[in-house]
Structures are given as structure tokens and as C-alpha cells.
Structure 1
Amino acid sequence: MIIEWNINKKRGNFRPVLTYTITLENFEKELGLPQVVMESSIPEPPDSWSASCLPGKCERSGENCSNYRIYTPDHKKGVVEGKFILPWRDNSDYPEIQESFTMLRDNFETVLKQAYHSQPVDMSGRLELSEETRKYIASGLVSQRFLEAVGL
């Protein structure tokens, strides 16, 4: 699994935007892995629909942020892309992003290892009549054919 992200913020009162892509590698897709979904520590600001935050408003006035949920891609599609509006911060430091994606990767690796231990199977089988049943039926069949051969 490859996780790539970027944070972009315009000058001024604009909130930073986190964009990310999570891509499964081919061997991971072939294992039919379930999605890993978790509550991240990536903060979602109040009014996250708004691209800006004015001084004294929302997170800049001390309002608490909730957290975004993050997840790995479905094994059929193999890719997930996301975009989060982050809270405005003076220092533009967001260590929660690295921490959350690392935790997602660790949780995914646990699921990956469990799936990998499930070995492939290719089994076939075949059954025929038992010897006992063959003997039982054989005497009757031989008698019937013998009678048919002599015209009876």
C-alpha cells in the first residue's frame, strides 16, 4: 500500500487543504483484503465546508475540532482519494497527518498478514460405486445379459 499526501494553503485566512491518495499494490488486491476504517487524529474544523477561517472565529476562537475518518481502498478498486479541509494554524504544523496515516498503515499490515497466512487450496475428488455394491449388482446384470443372449 502506498499513501501519498500533500498540504496546500493559500496566503491569508485560508484553511489548508490536505489531499491524499492511497493505492493498493497488485499483490495486495489479489488477497481480497477488507477495508480498514479508523477514526484518525486529523482534525476537522468547525464549519469545515468553508475554505477560510477569520480571526476570532471557529478554531481561531478556541472551538474544538472533531476528527476525520480515514480508510484503505476496496480491493476491487484498489485506489482511494481524499480531500480534507484542515483547521487554520499559525505554524501550519499538522503532525496528526503522519501519525494517522502511520496508524492506518499499521492496522492494514495486520489485516494483510492475516490474509497472507490463509493458504491457497486446489482440491479435487472422485467417487465410484463401492465394491460391495458392484458385486451385488453384477450377479443380476450377468444373469440378465446371459438370458438376453440366448433369446429369453
Structure 2
Amino acid sequence: MLITWRIEKQRGNLRPELTYSVILEGHEKGLALPYVRVESTIPEPPASWQAHCHPHEHERAGAPPAGHYSLSTPSHAMRGTGQTLRLPWREDNAYPEVEESFRLLRAAFEQELAAAHASEPMDVTGKLVVSGELKRDMAAAIVADRLLRLAKQPALS
């Protein structure tokens, strides 16, 4: 699995945007891994639909976050997944919870990966035939039936 992310913010009162993608490797897809989702520690700013946050508004006025974002990996049927999240405006532009949250996602994914890998492959083939005892018991009747069928056939000239 490869997780990549980028935080980009333009100058001014604009909120930064976190863009991330998760791509599974071939052997991970081959294990039919499920979709993994974690609740991150990345706060969703109030009015996150707004690209900006003016002074004395929302998080800059001390308003609590609207919640926390969820992060996810793709399932085995998907090529990859990605998302763009708007982060709260911060004067210092520090977002240590982003890497921490991706570490949580990786840990949850690794648990699923280990569980899937622990499920050993198998290839079992079976075959059953009629028992010898039953064949012996039926042999006389089968031979008699065949002889009677032969006796009923018209003679060849």
C-alpha cells in the first residue's frame, strides 16, 4: 500500500487543503482486502465548505471543530482511492495530526493485511467409488441381468 498526501495553502485567509491517495499493490489486491476506514484526529473546521476563514470567524474565533475526518483505503476491487479535505486555518501552518492519522490508517490496514495473509491457501480433491462389499453383493444380479438381455436379442444369421 502506498499513501501519499499533500497540504497546500495559498497566501491569505484561505484554508489549507489536504489531498491524499491510497493505492494497493498487486499482492494486496490478490488477498481480497476489504475497505478499511478509520476516524482520524484531523479536525474538520466549522463551515468546512468555505475555502476561507476570516479573522474572528469560525476556528479563528475559537469555535470548536465540526468533527474529525474519516480516512480510508480502497477495497481490493478498486484501483485506488483519494480525497481532498479542507483543514482548519492555523497561523503556524502546522498539522502534525495529518501524519499521525495516516499512521493510524496504515496500522488498521496492516491488521487486515495480516489477517488475510494468515488465511492459508488450499487445494483439496476428492473421489469416492462404490464399495467393494456392495459390488460383491450386486455382482450376481448384474451378471444375470446382462445374460437375460443377451438371450432376448434376436440371433444373427
Residue identity matched to 1:41: T
**Residue segments in structure 1 that go unaligned for 5+ positions in a row:** none
For 2:64, what is the secondary structure of its paired residue? coil
Write the distance in 1 (CA, Å) between the matches of 2:146 and 2:107. Answer: 73
Aligned-partner SS, 1:133: helix
State the superposition RMSD in angstroms: 1.3
Q: Which residue of 2 aligns with 1:72?
A: 73
**Equivalent AA in structure 2 for residue 71 of structure 1:** S
Q: CA deviation at 1:149?
A: 3.6
Query: Which residue is 1:11 aligned to?
Result: 11
1:20 aligns to what SS in structure 2?
Answer: strand
SS of aligned partner of 1:112: helix
Answering whether residue 2 of structure 2 is matched by residue 2 of structure 1, we say yes
1:84 aligns with 2:85: yes
Gaps of 5+ in 2: none
Distance 1:84 1:151 in 2: 87
Supply the distance in 1 between the matched residues of 2:21 and 2:146 (Cα, whole angstroms).
Answer: 75
The percent identity for this pair of structures is: 44
Structure 2 equivalent of residue 96 of structure 1:
97
Q: Comparing 111-120 with 126-135, which one deviates more in the overlay? A: 126-135
Q: 1:138 to 1:80 in 2, by over 3 A?
A: same
Match of 2:127 in 1: 126
State the distance in 2 between where 1:45 and 1:151 align. 94
Q: Which amino acid aligns with 1:31?
A: L
Shift of 1:71: 0.9
What do the CA deviations read for 1:48-90 (whole angstroms, capped 9, x no partner)? 0000000000000001111001111111113001000000000
> Is 1:105 aligned with 2:106?
yes
Deviation of residue 151 (structure 1)? Answer: 4.6
* Structure exhibiting the larger radius of gyration computed from Cα positions: 2
Aligned counterparts of 2:148 and 2:70: Cα–Cα separation in 1: 82
Q: Distance in 2 between matches of 1:85 and 1:148?
A: 87
Counterpart Cα distance in 2 of 1:44 and 1:150: 92
Question: Shift of residue 132 of structure 1?
Answer: 1.9
Q: 1:32-43, aligned counterparts within 5 Å?
A: 32-43=32-43
> How many residue pairs align between the two structures?
152
The 2-side partners of 1:22 and 1:146 are apart by 74
Q: Secondary structure of 2:107's match? A: helix
AA partner of residue 3 (structure 1): I
Superposition TM-score, scaled by structure 2 size? 0.92
